[in-house]
Structure 1
Amino acid sequence: MHAFWSQYMGVSTAGTPCISQPCLNNGICQDYIRNYICSCLEGYEGTNCEYAKNECHSKRSKGCDHFCRPGQEFYMCSCAKGYKLGKDHRSCIPNEKCACGILSSKSNVTLTDAKLTLQNFPWQVKLTNSQGKDFCGGVIVQENFVLTTAKCSLLHGNISVKLSEDGTPGAPLEIKIKNKHVHMRYDQEMKQNDLALLELNEPIQCGSNGLPICIPEKDFAEHILIPEKMNVVSGWTFNGTELGDSLIDLPSVYFENEKCEEILNVTVTTRLFCEKSKATVDWQLVEGSIVMAEHKGTWFLIGIMVSLPTEKLGPLYLFTKISRYSMWFEQIMQ
């Protein structure tokens, strides 16, 4: 009689999914028709009890919007600059005009494995010399700081930042550089620490001329953004004399260090990583091009491109790993 009614009550006696022991961490499995339910022990959650409540897991459906840190009983979320933690202690809500990594409603981004359609990334800028010639790219990381390569920062004495040309009438399109902060351990030959922060004479007008991109925490960048996301390599092309008018944006994925070293004939240290794009460009991407990742509606900077000989054009690119320099950023931009 039990076997007869079980097919209507939902409990199956044959071909049970629980035979495969899907419940992890000593969770208790209960069979249903073509399905099962795991009852988790205290401290675990998830369909298969696969997540410890005090640990960070990128696949968790209701995880942190931005950053996550393990806790004693529960994991703890935090947010990038310009955001506040929501009442659910997971979501990140913009609470400043210069909140980083937000695309305006006018920007239309469609990302697939081989194509990116874009109206504007408001954090990317051109560097211009005293003769008004554009020569490198950069990225806004704070309203008064632009990040570029050390090599770019040393090419000219007087440098200005050319902001988005979508600015409001009367807003300055160029801002002069007040100070250059080249990384103290920059090694051009070894391609190490190729970073410079350019301090602006005046802060940008957020929303009018541009916005900063977010800088991720180390664990978040290196365990989620770099290896698990489809990222975007972005910059202007350089034909040998001039920068192109429009940004080139290439969907990319992380490429293994060992294979990258073999192809590019470089040493990929812990401060470097490689990205591979399915698309190619006719001209070399300019110095100061970047790679970024979108996570739950927010864009994060994960790398700035290391220069390579012109014969080594894409689809393989080498980047300085931004997440390894958080203390350097804090010391200079505080």
Structure 2
Amino acid sequence: MSRLANSCCLFLLFQLISAEVFLQGQDASQVLARRRRANSAFEEFRKGDMERECIEERCSYEEAREIFEDDKKTDEFWNKYFDGDSCESLPCINQGVCKDGIGKYTCYCMAGFQGVNCEIAIPQLCMNKNGECQHYCHVQKDRVQCSCVKGYFLGEDKKSCVSHDPFKCGVRKSGKTRRIYIYQPQDNSTKLGNATEEIGANNVTDAAGVNKTVTTVMKIEDIADDDYIMPEVAAQTRIVGGEECPPGDCPWQALLMNTEDMGFCGGTILNEYFILSAAHCMNQTRSFYVIVGEFDRELDEGTESIHKVEQVLTHKHYVPETYHNDIALIKLKDPIRFTPFACRPACPRTTSPRRC
């Protein structure tokens, strides 16, 4: 009996020694159940996790999109995650800003530079904002040379044009404007005006004649050196190219008026008969007229002149959809009589308007 027991023990010991240490994957899963980090039940309903989906494992673009929930942020992450950060070496120079892409990068250059890496400095030639010249721009030896029209000379910056002529075109004779408080008994109100403004039915044309037509709070001679004298440029001035244009300082401007006496477009005086404007303005109204020498449409300043239109010449290659060749010539029925408020065409006078 003891011999049989010993035989059984030896048999069991042999089976244990010959048993496998490692189990197959399917058998091991039945013994030890492990929790999956991804693609588990209800995974699609859980908020994306960067560490779980894109660091411990290789994620797809869609999985990254679930994490950021924003296309722009996803693209920024994916461009670096997919093939590394191309902007890490700082390829953009001259203060350019680098934006990474897949297999490429893009440099956003500062003003004045261009090129793949912003390595090319754009020369300030005449095609670029007229070379910063106020009047004429010329290119000599790859450099900008500015010049001025007759009666002007270059300023210290070699860009602006100045004149010593106190009565140059577009400048009023007086550099000051008098402010007069005028009492009108009929409505018990006090109005603020200029000595040369039209007041009610009376046209005040002379400072000495003010006391003859209206009653003033103080005499003109009493305020000649007082604080009531202010600079010539007033608060309400016409805006041209983002800069203030005092009365008479832009005498080449013209205003196009529709049948309802509303201004709808502008123009530039070329000579006594021709106005340059935009082609897209020509189909905005059935008919129109032109005003030159205008500054304030709410006031009759005595400097304006109205001109009827004889003919409109639109560029034959004008494309309304793209505004290519958006240019037109307006021929007036009667010539412009140039004054200090409409005295200088944009083009020099020529015998033929075609040359202008």
TM-score, scaled relative to structure 2: 0.31
Select the structure that is richer in strand: 1
Greater Rg over alpha carbons, structure:
2
TM-score, scaled relative to structure 1: 0.33
Select the structure that is richer in helix: 2
Q: Which has the higher contact order (CA 8 A, sep 6+)?
A: 1
